[in-house]
Amino acid sequence: MNLVVQIAVAHTTTGAPNPHPSNAAVAGSAAGQAVETNTSSPSADLASAIGPIGLLLLVALAAFALYLVSLSLHPNAKCNRCNGAGRHKGYVFSYAQRPCSSCKGRGVHPRIGRKVLFKT
């Protein structure tokens, strides 16, 4: 806001008696008009500058960056075939176990994004 507008608003809102009521009314209405015309925020200015497609690309880029962070923090997912146990129980003899053929007994698989993006 302009310094003059701030002074005018502060001056009209104080409890001191006003010797010139007509001047205060004009200053108050000018301050109200200045406040109403300067309501744009920096995010609104940015959104109007880059447009809807640019805003969509910016959101997609942020989501992709968050996915990359998630991949680096949690690169593996639980094996669905053995439910993360790393072993299969026998159907006939339920006490018998063997290593999971899908995850090779580890209980986890690399996530799809890790396979695609990092070729591991």
**Same domain for 80 and 102:** yes
Is 102 or 46 the better-scoring residue by pLDDT?
102
Is the pTM higher than 0.85? The answer reads no
Domain housing 64 = 47-73
Name the domain count of the chain.
3
**Same domain for 58 and 97:** no
**Cα–Cα dist 108/88, whole Å:** 14
**Same domain for 34 and 8:** yes
**Same domain for 119 and 79:** yes
**Same domain for 88 and 54:** no
**Same domain for 110 and 84:** yes
Is 49 or 17 the better-scoring residue by pLDDT?
49
Burial of 31 (0-12, 13-18, 19+ CB in 10 A): buried
Of 23-32, 61-70, 75-84, which gets the smallest average pLDDT? Answer: 23-32
**Same domain for 79 and 67:** no
**Same domain for 109 and 81:** yes
- What are the residues facing 62 on neighbouring strands? none
**Same domain for 95 and 79:** yes
**Cα–Cα dist 47/29, whole Å:** 31
Share of the chain above pLDDT 90, in %: 21
pLDDT at 13: 59
**Same domain for 118 and 80:** yes
Torsion of Cα atoms, 22 then 24 then 29 then 32, to 10°? -170
**Cα–Cα dist 13/18, whole Å:** 10
> 31: which residues sit within 8 A by CB, 6+ positions away?
5, 8, 9, 12
The pLDDT-based confidence of 57 (bands split at 50, 70, 90) is very high
Alpha carbon distances (Å) from 78 to 42, 55, 81, 82, 106:
44, 35, 9, 9, 9
